[in-house]
Amino acid sequence: MATTDVTAPHVALFPCAGMGHLLPFLRVAAMLASRGCTVTIITAQPTVSAAESDQLSSFFAIHPQINRLEFRLLPYKKSKFTNEDPFFIQIESIVNSVHLLHPILSSLLPSLSAIVADFPVISSISQLAIDLSISLYIVITTSARFFSLMAYLPRLAHDNYPKRNDCIEVPGLGPIPVSNIPPPMLNPNHFFSENIRSNVLSLNKVKGILINTFNWFESEAIQALSSSSSGVAPLLPVGPFESFEIGKAHNLPWLDEQTPESVIFISFGSRTALSKDQIRELGTGLEKSGCKFLWVLKTSKVDKDDKDDRDEILGESFLERTKEQGLVVKGWVNQEQILAHPAIGGFVSHCGWNSVIEAARLGVPILAWPQHGDQKVNAEVVEKAGLGLLVGDWGWGGEKLVDKNEIADKIKELMLGKNTTRAKEVKEKARHAREINGTSEGLLRGLIDSFQSKE
Ligand code: UDP
Ligand code: UDP
Ligand code: UDP
């Protein structure tokens, strides 16, 4: 049964589309609930992926004190954008349905102290928050570095966008090569850039910005965003967000048999599928590296469509040859548990921000192979913090076929180098941030106090 403590602040959390957004929101929900808040999570239905609906079911099963508010979306209406990405389409549907939340939220008991929403819906939810006299906070699910770039976007004149070989100077960050900025962000007619622009312009309606990072890890960007000239509401780097499934047993006996720090983990997150050719090239690269590996294979953007057979894509002879060396799994795994496993000594990651911050929290060095969106800028953070190595210029996802020998060389460089020592230092810094007198924990407690004050 959900808590109805009338003295506790009641907070509604409203995540957008995709596991990369849902998981950090669920982590914030659990962190607030364990610190005395009454929490309601608004879950847009239907979800895009099966992973999201499965995650929601298991989350509410282990957190019976947290309320679930199912929010049925209006059917998708074709918009002015030629939008084919199912996650972006979901964001548009959410934006078009937000007005339906008014009567639902106004009738919640105890009445709400705050709404904590996802960045892509700020401009649509801010009026609702004003009408209901509820404070609006947001969670940013990308790095402070990429968020700085997002916040800077409206200042770039449409007709004067930089060219691919240029750099953008975001105040306080130093130059960011345009080749690291996702092309849709510099295309004023793309949903991605339009959504960022309109929401950045609504940031002044937000009371505080929770972000899954910590001072030591991204001090430069945090400082830049916190300066009065950034035009951004108070930034609350309260990360790394805590895991909500601590102690849950994993089911990978193969991993338990491996020696400490000997296995490289390969995953490109919840919505990035490599091409079949690139998958085979990666397989051969792993084999050639001679390193032990655990590889989560994904062949389509949305898991419900992922019908390809592992053995067919990789070939039975590959699987036979590598059966001692590695394990290839298809389907959802618990990445945090894998990264926490003593046998894991490295992580080939697309640098989705959740993956980066999990690796930081668990002290696993990254071989950064960014593919889309914010990932190249996130990879800059990985390199700057010394959490790992960047691949060379391997292009955007699908732009070129990266050769097996290059992949093998980089994997060996990561696994044979001295990267784990530095990664463990990062882990220590992350742990400090979350301690009772750490920077992140302090901000989180302050936030909960501010939920109680109405102004
Ligand atoms: N994840 C997982 N198991 C998987 C794939 C992904 O647990 O099989 C988690 C991962 O730990 C991370 C999130 O899903 O928390 C993916 O978010 P990220 O920002 O890394 O990348 P995205 O999926 O948004 O590209
Ligand atoms: N994409 C992805 N993960 C991300 C960002 C983008 O899978 O984190 C997808 C995106 O939805 C698109 C493709 O990768 O289908 C190429 O994305 P990009 O943003 O580079 O360009 P678009 O094709 O959307 O113009
Ligand atoms: N984002 C956005 N509008 C969109 C899609 C994404 O503002 O239409 C934001 C998103 O909230 C995230 C950042 O842009 O903070 C990077 O998004 P991307 O899709 O690249 O990665 P995701 O976090 O969704 O995996």
Q: What is the predicted pLDDT for the residue at 284?
A: 98
Return the structure tokens found at 187: 């295309």
Listed in sequence order, the residues at least 6 apart from 48 whose beta carbon sits closer than 8 Å to its beta carbon are 17, 18, 86, 87, 90, 302
Calpha distance 294→16 (Å, rounded): 30
Q: What is the predicted pLDDT for the residue at 233?
A: 80
Q: How confident is the model at residue 282 (pLDDT cuts 50, 70, 90)?
A: very high
**Distance (Å) from CA 270 to ligand 1 centroid:** 5
For residues 360-374, give the mean pLDDT: 98
Ligand 3: which of 196, 198, 350 to mutate, judged by most atoms within 8 Å of the beta carbon?
196
Listed in sequence order, the residues at least 6 apart from 81 whose beta carbon sits closer than 8 Å to its beta carbon are 88, 92, 189, 190, 191, 194
Lowest-confidence region among 45-54, 158-167, 279-288, 385-394: 158-167
Does residue 267 carry a pLDDT above 70? Answer: yes
Does residue 188 carry a pLDDT above 90? Answer: no
Q: Is the CB of residue 360 less than 8 Å from the CB of residue 433?
A: no
Return the structure tokens found at 455: 């102004």
Q: How confident is the model at residue 171 (pLDDT cuts 50, 70, 90)?
A: confident
Calpha distance 38→112 (Å, rounded): 9
Calpha distance 116→108 (Å, rounded): 15
Q: How confident is the model at residue 160 (pLDDT cuts 50, 70, 90)?
A: low
Return the structure tokens found at 451: 């939920």
Q: What is the predicted pLDDT for the residue at 377?
A: 97
Q: Is the CB of 278 under 6 A from ligand 2?
A: no
Q: What is the predicted pLDDT for the residue at 433?
A: 95
Q: What is the predicted pLDDT for the residue at 229?
A: 78
Q: pLDDT tens-digit profile of 189-214?
A: 899 999 999 999 999 999 999 999 99
Lowest-confidence region among 11-20, 248-257, 273-282: 248-257
Q: Is the CB of 184 under 6 A from ligand 2?
A: yes
For residues 278-287, give the mean pLDDT: 98
Does residue 115 carry a pLDDT above 70? Answer: yes
Does residue 6 carry a pLDDT above 70? Answer: no
Question: Which of the 8 DSSP states describes residue 158?
Answer: G
Cis peptide before 183 (omega within 30 of 0): no
- The answer to whether the Cα torsion of 436, 242, 354, 153 is positive or negative is negative
- Determine phi and psi for 365, rounding to 5 degrees: -70, 145
**ipTM surpasses 0.95:** no
- The answer to whether the Cα torsion of 278, 284, 289, 293 is positive or negative is positive
- The answer to whether the Cα torsion of 398, 402, 408, 414 is positive or negative is negative
Q: What is the predicted pLDDT for the residue at 1?
A: 45
Does residue 159 carry a pLDDT above 90? Answer: no
Q: How confident is the model at residue 454 (pLDDT cuts 50, 70, 90)?
A: low
Average pLDDT over the chain, rounded to whole?
93
Q: Is the CB of 269 under 6 A from ligand 2?
A: no
What are the C-alpha distances in Å from 299 to residues 55, 85, 86, 313, 438? 20, 15, 16, 9, 41
- Determine phi and psi for 111, rounding to 5 degrees: -65, 155
Owner of token pair 């301690």: 435
**Distance (Å) from CA 453 to ligand 3 centroid:** 31
- Nearest alpha carbon, ligand 3 atom 25: 20
Return the structure tokens found at 321: 């040859």
Calpha distance 409→412 (Å, rounded): 5
Q: How confident is the model at residue 325 (pLDDT cuts 50, 70, 90)?
A: very high
Q: Is the CB of 142 under 6 A from ligand 3?
A: yes
> Half-sphere exposure (CA, 13 Å, Cβ side) for 101?
29
For residues 286-303, give the mean pLDDT: 95
**Distance (Å) from CA 355 to ligand 1 centroid:** 6
For residues 181-186, give the mean pLDDT: 92
Q: pLDDT tens-digit profile of 406-432?
A: 999 999 999 998 888 999 999 999 999
Instruction: State the closest ligand 3 atom to the C-alpha of 270, by its place in the atom list counted from 1.
Output: 25
Q: Is the CB of residue 358 less than 8 Å from the CB of residue 338?
A: no
Q: Is the CB of 18 under 6 A from ligand 2?
A: no
Q: Is the CB of residue 27 less than 8 Å from the CB of residue 244?
A: yes
Lowest-confidence region among 55-69, 245-259, 379-393: 245-259
Active site residues: 21, 118
User: What is the residue type of 419?
Assistant: N
Whole-number percent of the chain with pLDDT over 70: 96
Calpha distance 68→109 (Å, rounded): 13
CA-CA-CA-CA dihedral for 432, 437, 439, 442, to nearest 10: 140
Calpha distance 231→108 (Å, rounded): 33
User: What is the residue type of 236?
Assistant: L
Calpha distance 269→273 (Å, rounded): 9
**DSSP-assigned letters across all residues of 384-426:** HHTSEEE-S---STTTSPPPHHHHHHHHHHHHHSSHHHHHHHH
Whole-number percent of the chain with pLDDT over 90: 81
